[in-house]
Amino acid sequence: MAAHKNPNLSILQLGGGPSMTSSILSAVAKNPLETPWFSNFVVADINASVFHQFDKTFQAWGPLLTSTVLEGNLTLREQKLDPASFDLVIAAASFNQQNLKTEFLKDVQNRLHDGGLALILESETDVSRK
């Protein structure tokens, strides 16, 4: 729905791996040859092994889809991701303490444009490490 309202959507995916990337892509574009409903899609994860096959799997998307490895010792706010630069943040996260969850949600909000949306999915991937 967000892509219908804003066909130039800027998306940040935190965690979730290639299967989550494929699911999101299927919702915002049928294939790389069609005009997608996004202008920028960044996939970020603290697990570098997630990206082992990433470039090969998603190479057809070209510069629309990029990946970055997050540094596990930094908060999301401290990562090399521009503040207020995304319309949609989709995060697969696992929290073992409420204060980590609160801080992570603040950091996600910091990455969103005004009026941006966040979707947090509980999973086994921990993207909230400090």
Instruction: Give this prediction's pTM.
Output: 0.85
Residues 6+ apart with CB under 8 A from 75: 103, 104, 107, 130
Domain extent for 61: 24-33+46-72
Q: State how far the Cα of 64 lies from the Cα of 49, in Å rounded to an integer.
A: 21
Helices and strands, counts by H and E, the chain: 4, 5
Whether residue 61 is contained in a domain is answered as yes
Per the rule left: phi > 0, alpha: psi between -120 and 50, beta: everything else, 119 is beta
Whether residue 60 is contained in a domain is answered as yes
Q: What's the domain count of the chain? A: 1
pLDDT tens sequence for the chain (130 residues): 455 567 689 999 998 889 999 999 998 887 888 888 899 999 999 888 888 888 889 999 999 999 999 998 888 889 999 989 999 999 987 766 777 888 889 999 999 999 999 998 875 545 554 4
